[in-house]
Amino acid sequence: MTTIRFVLTIIFMFFIMFNSAVHAQWTQTNGPFGANCRAFASAADGSGGTNLFVATGAGVFRSTDNGTSWKGVNTGLTDWNVRALAATPDGNGASHVFAGTADQGVFRSTNQGTSWEAVNTGLPRLTVFSLLANDTNLFAGVYLNGVYRSTNAGTTWVAANAGMAVHNEVTALAVVDTHAFAATYGSGVFHSTNNGTSWQLVDTGMTNMNVHALAVRADAAGDTMLFAGTVGGVFRSTNFGRGWIAVNTGLTSTDVRSFAVKGSDIFAGTWGGDVFRSTNNGANWQSVSTGLPQNPIRSLTVKGTDILAGALDFGVYRSVNNGATWEGASVGIRNSYVKALAIAPNGIFAGTMYNGVFRSTDLGTNWEAMNAGLTDLHVDALAAKDTFLFAGTWGGASRSSNNGVNWVSINTGLNGSVGCFAVKDTNLFATNNGGVVLSIDNGTSWQAVNTGLTTGNIGSLVVSDTNLFAGSFGAGVFRSTNNGANWQTVNTGLTSLNVRALALVVNSSGEKNLFAATDDAGIFRFTNNGEGWQAVGSLSTFVLTFGVSDTNIFAGTLSTVYRSTNNGTSWEQEGEGLISTNVNALVAAPDGASGTILFVGTQGAGVWRRPLAELITFVSAVPNEIPGGFGLAQNFPNPFNPSTTIRFAVSTTGRVVLSVYDVLGRKLRTLVDEVLPPGRYDTVFDGNELASGVYFYRIEAGTFSQTRKFVFQK
């Protein structure tokens, strides 16, 4: 009799609940480009040059070539929502760089951003809106607590806000000689002559107290001028803030958010998306915005002879001709809002909320913008069909027949935005302005296919055999068996009709499972196009999207990724290393070198990747007779480093779960979660990322359960 040895591949998940080295986790790719750029800082590099830093909603990025290219420098930065930057001399020809964040306070880097450490001793609150360096003094504007000062490079902080009756949002700081100024949102400008020990409100003549920006420059006679950018325009003071006058002639956008001074010129960035230049101390302004994306300009800086502007959603732009024209300078700065991902034969495509479509042909190592002919850069959906690539935007749909190099609008029969696509044989379906449309000619023309749809709020589409399913918010799930000609609801078993996402999974036996994520009742499964739904798992947060790789289903949520290997019966978090807010898109891409790569598109940190092979362990059947009962043997070797073999016995076909726990009972890994036939099995556990200590492994199979102890020694 011949005994056949086989391998069952099981996806496993781990979530380390204690401090130990991370072995496998998500890593950020190098794009796409563009982000919410809030502040710049220049820092001496110790060799006679300077590096340029930009603060974004996706962390800190550094440029060594005046903004031609950027690199993320975020190691140790536990809050990537960075709002302010400053640099102070380190005494050795280089600079310390400081980053103020939204929730984790101030971080310091002593090596040009290569690594960061938190420096918050003395800070009462960790929301920092502004930073300013002046010789040995470092000032921080802290939400609801005014200004704090450090004289030892951020090691400790003390309050420096006496006289600030209202400790609200300190939006900007400026210094000239012995005078310090603090701009606030709602209370105007404060002035200090003693390094912030005490402050005095200086608002005479200022008619708008919502101040976002400050700038200082000396006129031809050497006299100091102070400029304040407010929601109501620019104000100028020639007497250290004791009196102000409005200087807005020519300023057609009066919500001023940023300043930069270059020689005798002053530049103002506005919420309306324009940059204005004044050559006469604000007496007159003219727009210098050619090439800018008409997006709020949150920050401005001068680097050598260049001017750089940070846009709210579009990243960095640079002018080499004093503002006459601008061009994008965001290569390497990750986009803050990726809405869609698609896999095509020639690469991975990412659709962004504000910056159009990007392509990577090397699994995310490099990205390039692919927007020629794309008339709307707000991309919600992508799909590949035959030799075509389709993009759904706020303004309709576009198609590319040359891998995104050029696009043409395909809006005949469309009315409004396109939110998602589905491909069924030769048919292309899309959601359009809340309904469903069909094209049989690759988007050249579209026709509405909404008969039977009782809502205009369709948000997801999926194809299963001859069926097309549509998920709606408010009316549940609809099914069409005739390419959208007619629709019927299929809601039996659904306890919520607010369906946000749909996905189809085909397991190893050919069974088809349709999944629906609801906003308020968890996840439901619909088997083999049947007539009823079954609740299969509830996550603690909204599911925004699904992704499928073989029989594995992934759920992207408001904060992380979850995975199920048992048709949705249970879900485990799979987000180690992933720093983001929303996970908006999930795809799996084949990689000839290492198998399959999982990609996620996020809101806040661009595209991330993770090899599927990192999540795989193996269970092998041991050649032997069928055991008479269930059992869990002692691992060998024990103690072990770094791996050990666990053997168990299965006497009847059924679901088997084998998990590893720490001494506090917290589950660290699920090694096996699969229906197994009778037999004896081996699985190898690798504890490389664990700390030395005692752990437990437990088997559950039907009513049988058993736990054993093992020891990991490094």
Q: What is the pLDDT of residue 354?
A: 87
- Structure tokens that stand for 421 in this block: 């696509």
* Residue 173 predicted with pLDDT over 90: yes
Q: What is the pLDDT of residue 222?
A: 66
Residue from 104, 111, 119 nearest 59 by CA = 104
* Percentage above 90 pLDDT, the chain: 58
Question: Residue 539: CB partners within 8 Å, gap ≥ 6?
Answer: 522, 523, 555, 557, 562, 571
pTM tops 0.85: no
Work out the mean pLDDT of the chain and round it to a whole number. Answer: 88
pLDDT digits (tens, 9 = 90+) for 312-360: 888 999 999 999 999 999 888 887 789 999 998 889 999 999 889 999 9
* Helix locations, 15-114, DSSP H: none
Comparing 462-476, 593-607, 636-650, 695-709, the range with the smallest average pLDDT is: 593-607
What mean pLDDT is predicted for residues 425-434? 94
Q: How wide is the angle at C-alpha 706 spanned by C-alphas 705 and 707, nearest 5°?
A: 135
Per-residue confidence at 97, pLDDT binned at 50, 70, 90? very high
Determine the Cα–Cα distance for residues 481 and 449; give it in Å rounded to an integer: 12
pLDDT digits (tens, 9 = 90+) for 515-573: 999 988 889 998 867 678 999 877 878 899 988 876 678 999 988 898 887 788 888 88
What mean pLDDT is predicted for residues 405-430? 95
Question: Residue 253: CB partners within 8 Å, gap ≥ 6?
Answer: 270, 271, 272, 273, 274, 276
* Residue 599 predicted with pLDDT over 50: yes
Q: Rank 399-413, 615-629, 680-694 by mean pLDDT and report only the highest.
A: 399-413
Q: What is the pLDDT of residue 576?
A: 78
Amino acid residing at 221: A
Determine the Cα–Cα distance for residues 564 and 551; give it in Å rounded to an integer: 9
Q: What is the pLDDT of residue 687?
A: 79
Q: What is the pLDDT of residue 683?
A: 86
- Structure tokens that stand for 404 in this block: 């995104």
Could you give phi then psi for residue 326, rounded to 5 degrees? -130, 155
pLDDT digits (tens, 9 = 90+) for 208-230: 999 999 999 876 666 789 999 99
Please compute Rg for the chain using Cα positions: 29
Q: What is the pLDDT of residue 12?
A: 27
What mean pLDDT is predicted for residues 248-257? 95
Compute the Cα dihedral for 200, 206, 210, 211 and give only its sign. negative
Q: What is the pLDDT of residue 580?
A: 66
* Residue 475 predicted with pLDDT over 90: yes
pLDDT digits (tens, 9 = 90+) for 68-92: 899 989 999 999 889 999 999 988 8
Q: Where are the beta strands (DSSP E) in 325-484?
A: 327-328, 338-344, 347-352, 357-360, 368-369, 379-385, 388-393, 396-400, 408-409, 418-424, 427-432, 435-439, 447-448, 458-464, 467-472, 477-480
Question: Residue 510: CB partners within 8 Å, gap ≥ 6?
Answer: none
DSSP 243: S
What mean pLDDT is predicted for residues 240-263? 95
Residue from 90, 67, 88, 36 nearest 301 by CA = 67
Residue from 458, 540, 456 nearest 499 by CA = 458
Q: Rank 485-494, 551-560, 655-664 by mean pLDDT and report only the highest.
A: 485-494
What mean pLDDT is predicted for residues 581-599? 80
CB burial string 253-273: b at 16+ within 10 A, e below: bbbbbbbbbbeebbbbbbbbb
What mean pLDDT is predicted for residues 617-625? 63
Amino acid residing at 140: A
